[in-house]
Amino acid sequence: MTEPREIAERLLDAQVEFLLAEVSGDRFAEVVARDVDAVLGVADTLLFREVVELDQAKQTVATVVDLVGGSPVLADMVGVFADSIYDHIAANNDYTLGEVVEREPVEALLEKLFGMHQAQERILDRLTESPLVAAVASKFVDKLINDFMQANRERAEKIPGVSSLMSLGQSAANRARKAADGTFVGDLAGKGAMFALKRTNNAIREMLRDAPVHSAAMEFWDLHADEPVSGLREYLTQKDLNELALLCYEIAVTTREKEYFGLLVDECVEVFYAKYGDYTLAAMLPELGLSGADIATEILRYGPAVIEGAKRNGLLAKLIRERLEPFYTSDAVLGILADAVG
């Protein structure tokens, strides 16, 4: 008479073979389709908020941001990606910029930016609070005036006798400038810098509101839209792109570590939870742009190679056997088999 343990081992062997056949060849596609449908059927009965609690979602997102966002892979690849894009993708002559980026959203973006008068006013007002910016504005205005004076000087010096008079005037102006340092006149110069900044700001305001800046910007876009994408490389070198990518990555990584960023992430999770908390898990897939067929396709894209690799070295059969053996050799099963053959 066959012993219960021997029967259990034979049953174990049979189930291992059955499960291996389930994930082999064409049968694997049928199993994936069946199981995905079954999982979605269950998911259609579960609300998102019933499966995922708000605090759990916050912790998960925070973990992803912390671990994935600062992973060594990203740190190593940022510069490599930038170099590769510059060497290969940005060098492309087969596509124009207009084919890659649609004109309409660009036009809408520029229109919005130029129409943000509140932001423009605030930025310009804050600029007046910076002495260094005021000095730059003053230098800018001085440059315009000096260029204008230089042009007039060149015309005037063509008149006999005027050249010597202008030389005397320049000497006097230089002496006055030296005398102004550390005096009341020097203070006036500082105030003059602020005045220059305010005048510059007013000019910028008028230009943004009255001048056809939007049309000029779109004309600039149209000039580039019909040029190959490779033309963008004329604006920066490979070294520039590499360094910009690394600097942006550094800003992202250091910002990610701040407590305030955590508050932003939590707020986004709360908004998502409030909007989709009452959706079933299956109903959320279309909202994410996915379907059951998409999930099955991705499983079939990578699953067979992984499974076949595990089968070749016997690891898959070993793993299945390890999971099932405790059941078949349990006292309960052996007792059932003993009763059956008794």
* pLDDT per residue rounded down to tens, the chain (342 residues): 578 899 999 999 999 999 999 998 889 999 999 999 999 999 999 999 999 999 999 999 988 888 877 788 888 899 999 999 998 888 888 999 999 999 999 999 998 988 898 998 898 888 888 878 877 777 776 776 677 667 666 665 565 554 554 454 555 545 544 544 444 444 545 566 777 777 778 888 888 777 788 888 899 899 889 999 888 888 889 999 999 999 999 998 889 888 999 999 999 999 999 999 999 999 999 999 999 999 999 999 999 999 999 998 889 999 999 999 999 999 999 999 998 886
Cα separation, 328 vs 311, whole angstroms: 22
* Position 257 in a domain: no
Buried-state track 204-228, b at ≥16 Cβ within 10 A, e below 16: eeeebeeeeeeeebbeebeebbeeb
* Position 92 in a domain: no
Does 218 lie in the same domain as 101?
Answer: yes
Q: What is the pLDDT of residue 64?
A: 87
Q: What is the pLDDT of residue 215?
A: 87
Task: Give the 3-state secondary structure of residue 259.
Answer: helix
Q: What is the pLDDT of residue 185?
A: 43
Cα separation, 150 vs 142, whole angstroms: 12
- What are the structure tokens assigned to 248, written together? 């942006």
* Position 260 in a domain: no
* Position 122 in a domain: yes
**Chosen domain end from 227, 250, 270:** 227
Cα separation, 95 vs 192, whole angstroms: 51
Does 306 lie in the same domain as 218?
Answer: no
| Number of folded domains that form the chain | 2
Q: What is the pLDDT of residue 184?
A: 40
Distances from the Cα of 174 to the Cα of 109, 183, 195, 320, angstroms: 49, 15, 22, 92
* Position 298 in a domain: yes
* Position 272 in a domain: no
**Chosen domain end from 204, 227, 250:** 227
Host H or E run for residue 304 = helix 292-312
Q: What is the pLDDT of residue 232?
A: 86
* Position 82 in a domain: no
Does 196 lie in the same domain as 129?
Answer: yes
* Position 172 in a domain: yes
**Chosen domain end from 209, 227, 245:** 227
Does 210 lie in the same domain as 288?
Answer: no
Does 222 lie in the same domain as 291?
Answer: no
pTM: 0.72
Q: What is the pLDDT of residue 188?
A: 47
Does 124 lie in the same domain as 198?
Answer: yes
Q: Which domain holds residue 292?
A: 1-46+280-342
Does 179 lie in the same domain as 116?
Answer: yes
Count other Cβ atoms within 10 Å, centred on residue 192.
Answer: 15
Cα separation, 50 vs 117, whole angstroms: 45
Q: What is the pLDDT of residue 89?
A: 84
